Chain A
Amino acid sequence: MPYKTGFIKTVVLWGILLSGVPASSEQEFWDLPPLPEASEYGNVLIDRISLKNRIKPVAFSHWTHRQKYTCRVCHFELEFNMKVNTTEITEAANKEGRYCGTGGCHDGKTAFGHDKPYCEKCHNGDRSYGKEKFSELRNFPKSNFGNGINWVKALEKGLITPVNYLTIKPSDEISYDKGFSLEAEWRGIPVAVFSHRPHIKWLDCNNCHPDIFNIKKKTTKHFEMTRMLNGEFCGVCHMTVAFPLNDCKRCHPGMRE
């Protein structure tokens, strides 16, 4: 009865979503990973060689940095990879003015440098480091998950004015604001709406293309929700720093509460 498989999938899916007590196998399939506290969302502990050298891992907070710089600056200009511990950050490189130590960043002028008294400002091994400053953001537009902050709105309202480049100015010519809708794989799930516009305010084209997404619709292979939950595709950012996938309605506006 092939004509029924779509129907069955829909029924099963809604069954799982509505029942609230999914069986263990579905849990892997559908459950979203637990979220940290709002003040810790996007915080990463970097320990590539720190502990090996008997130094505490670095606590890095995305919410602190994204107020001042767009994603593009660090993940494009400064060549930070998108996965923790994969960038070969070393003390020497920082002191030479690369990565964290880039001029205009932690160079000892713009922000604290790499001298003795400041070690523990990063090498503190504490994921919640700097938490007390989070309350300063209490008047920011709200969202339901992640940092509990609607960063897109915060930017639109001018509550933050992150710098978009240090030395490599993005072309003014790229005014790419094409949006489109993406059919859901499962019947009964409303379409996802994607817009380039809010993305290019933070990102450079190459942050997403072509590694994460191909540039032609429907040519990105295995672009599925389950993969995103696994940290692929949208999940590269929207599980780690940008609003998490728990916020269904933000992409699937037709989704019922």
Chain B
Amino acid sequence: MRRVSWALVFIFVVVGITLAQSDGVKKKRPLPPDYGKVIINNYSEAAGLSAVVFDHWLHRAKFTCRLCHVDVGFAMKAGATGIKATDNMNGYYCGACHNGKMISEDRVVFDSCSKRTGQDTRMCERCHSSGKNVKKDYEFSKFTDKFPKGRFGNGIDWEKTEAEGLVKPVDFLQGISIKRPSLTIQKDFALGSKQEGMPDIIFSHKKHTIWSGCELCHPEIFVGVKRGSTKYSMVEIFEGRYCGVCHSTVAFPLIDCQRCHIKPVS
């Protein structure tokens, strides 16, 4: 009997130690320039190149989320698009803009993965830069210097930045986007909290549609035909679903509780 119990203790200790890789600790937050940074490595390293480093902060300052994630068709999860060099050469994905022809803010957008870039590795390294010390054209702190500050994420209040006209994200891509008459923007509404004492969420369509249009969220993330038809919980959001699709990766993160939970408790 005694032997059994010591054996049990031993097993518990071993299991205890092996399981002791941390949950239950505070996650280290990325630095402001690194928030929303995506490393894409579907085929890069296999092809002898560094993985691609994609900065959301730079792109979102120039284009809406909708443009890339709806019109151009990028998936919402890093690596899920499976971008190939030939796709870019053929004008899909990155190549939809990075084609050496498009003009954005008086600059020609450099072309990605073209035969021309292939001869100059420095051209490849503009994107294939993971682990390399590549000097980029836009430097975060300089670029965002005048933007209103926010907490967490990029340390920028993007909503305000747009409202003050400091960024004017483009929502139409010649040859790819198709203009449709826009729908009436729905009114703000409250999402009831399930916990007593927890303020309700005020959701604003208006704030979202500037960046997301309708199609980024509906119908895949939220069915959206009728309020209440998509059932979700904060736990699922924390797992990266529903609001958490964007609000833990690119848009202000979920630890900013009171940015959504703002309706006074009645």
Which residues of A approach B to under 8 Å, CB–CB?
A: 5, 8-9, 11-12, 25-26, 28-29, 77, 79, 81-83, 86, 88, 168, 170-171, 173-178, 204-207, 209-216, 219-223, 226-228, 230-233, 235-236
Which of B5, B199, B234, B263 contacts A12, CB < 8 Å? B5
Which of B19, B23, B233, B258 contacts A174, CB < 8 Å? B258
Most chain B CB neighbours (cut-off 10 Å) among A83, A173, A205 = A173
Q: Which residues does chain B contribute within 8 Å of A213, judged by CB atoms?
A: 24
Contact B8 A220 (CB under 8 A): no
Q: Which residue of A lies closest to B155 (CB)?
A: A79
Q: Which residues does chain A contribute within 8 Å of B16, judged by CB atoms?
A: 29, 226
Given A29-B16, A178-B196; A8-B24 close (CB under 8 Å): no
Q: Min CB distance, B190 to chain A, in Å? A: 13
**What is the 8 Å Cβ interface bit string for chain B, positions 1-30, against chain A (1 contact, 0 not)?**
100111011101100110110111111110
Bound: A79/B154 CA distance, A: 13
| Interface: B175 (CB within 8 A) | no
Which of A88, A171, A209, A232 contacts B23, CB < 8 Å? A232
Q: Which residues does chain A contribute within 8 Å of B257, judged by CB atoms?
A: 204-206, 209
Contact B24 A223 (CB under 8 A): yes
Contact A222 B23 (CB under 8 A): yes
Contact B9 A236 (CB under 8 A): no
A-B contact count (CB 8 A): 118
| Interface: B197 (CB within 8 A) | yes
Contact A25 B29 (CB under 8 A): no
Main secondary structure of the interface of B (DSSP, over half): loop
Bound: A26/B234 CA distance, A: 39
Bound: A212/B27 CA distance, A: 8
Q: How many residues of B contact A (CB 8 A)?
A: 43
Bound: A228/B196 CA distance, A: 28
Contact B29 A8 (CB under 8 A): no
Which of B24, B196, B234 contacts A222, CB < 8 Å? B24
Contact B235 A25 (CB under 8 A): no
Contact A11 B235 (CB under 8 A): no
Given A25-B13, A206-B255; A82-B31 close (CB under 8 Å): no
Given A173-B264, A210-B254; A221-B29 close (CB under 8 Å): no
Contact B24 A174 (CB under 8 A): no
Bound: A236/B25 CA distance, A: 6
Which of A29, A173, A176 contacts B195, CB < 8 Å? A176
Contact A212 B8 (CB under 8 A): no
Q: Which residue of A lies closest to B27 (CB)?
A: A211
Contact B25 A212 (CB under 8 A): yes
Q: Which residues does chain B contribute within 8 Å of A28, judged by CB atoms?
A: 13, 17
**Apart from A83-B28, A211-B25, 7 more pairs, CB < 8 Å:** A12-B5, A178-B195, A209-B255, A213-B24, A216-B234, A220-B24, A228-B24
